[in-house]
A and B are shown apart, each in its own frame.
Chain A
Amino acid sequence: MNAETISFRIINSLSQLNILRQNLEEIGNDIALDKKCVFEINLIMEEIITNIITHGYTDRDEHWIDIDLWEENSMLVIRIEDDGIPFDPIVSEKPDLKCPLEERKVGGLGVHLVKQMACDVAYERCGEKNVLILKKTLTRITKPKEKDEGRTC
């Protein structure tokens, strides 16, 4: 996957999360990622995309969410672009994780999971688009294989 970008787009409907899962499972198989790593990438992306789908639009029209994935320095770079209302998840409030059960809220929990699982999250509003770039360390299945793949990117 070095220097190669995988791009796909989904419509703003939660049922499209299945497309996301299928694509990530395929990528996971192709580049031999371990199960936990694929799980965390999927979780990060689901939380962001679910937020876009459920809070990002003021109309009921169909919108495209564009996704690009590429590998850079043993990290997966995830770029998500949408034309929803401006939303920067980085500045969202951290949920109070220590308050008693009765006062626990789930708002902000998804973004909290993203921030904990991704190494880096950067947001930019480009014209009418939100562009979010996330980085996630890749963990490959540990198995004996050729020592040097001779790739230098």
Chain B
Amino acid sequence: MEILDSKENDMDVFKLIGRLDSNTSPDLEKKIFNAIENGSVNMILDFENLDYISSAGLRVILKATKNLKRSDGMVVLCSMQDYVKEVFEIAGFDSFLPIASNMDDAMKMF
């Protein structure tokens, strides 16, 4: 998996490319928690080019969401493939995670 990170209007944007599985999710965890250590409170995870996610990926996103909530920040996800979105729904994560249909809508959620 490739992770491209950038800053947009004070938000950290992580563009995920490839597969977020048990093998690759530690890389995302490192990136996210490095950003948090450096003061990041709001994040967008762009799923447009993410082909695959398993519970290992959900675990990292849950951990980040909990952490950022304590500093009044949040994680917004956007541009998911339908079958990836279904995983979030089955896990019940859609009840607390904002999921935007595209990047523009994700920006408006902050």
Q: Does A142 contact B (CB under 8 A)?
A: no
Interface of A is mostly: helix
- In the bound assembly, the distance between CA atoms of A18 and B24 in angstroms comes to 11
Tally B residues with Cβ within 8 Å of A: 24
13 sample A-B contacts, Cβ–Cβ < 8 Å, listed by A number: A21-B19, A21-B52, A39-B51, A39-B52, A46-B21, A46-B54, A50-B56, A97-B91, A97-B92, A98-B95, A101-B96, A106-B62, A112-B91
Contact, CB under 8 Å: B83 / A35: yes
Inter-chain contact B52/A98, CB cutoff 8 Å: no
Least CB distance, A23 to chain B, in whole angstroms: 15
B61's nearest neighbour on chain A, judged by CB, is: A106
The A-B contact count (CB < 8 A) is 65
Closest partner residue, chain B, to A103 (CB atom): B66
Contacts of A106 in B (CB 8 A): 55, 58-59, 62-63
- Contacts A17-B21, A39-B83, A40-B83 given: A101-B65 contact, CB under 8 Å? yes
Q: Which residues of A lie under 8 Å from residue B56 when comparing CB positions?
A: 50, 110
Fill in one digit per residue for B60-103: 1 if any A CB lies within 8 Å of its CB, else 0: 00110110010000000000001100010011100110000000
Q: Which residues of A contact B38 (CB under 8 A)?
A: none
Contact of A47 among B52, B54, B63 (CB under 8 A): B54
In Å, the complex CA distance between A78 and B82 comes to: 25
CA distance A132 to B95 in the complex (A): 32
Tell me the minimal C-beta distance from B61 to chain A in angstroms: 10
B22 close to chain A: CB less than 8 A = yes
CB contact list, A87-133 vs B, under 8 A: 97-98, 100-102, 104, 106, 109-110, 112-113, 116-117
Tell me, yes or no, whether B23 is within 8 Å of chain A by CB.
yes
Do the beta carbons of A50 and B69 come within 8 Å of each other?
no
Q: Given A39-B83, A47-B55, does the pair A116, B90 have CB atoms closer than 8 Å? A: yes
B17-28 interface code vs A (CB 8 A; 1 in, 0 out): 001011100000
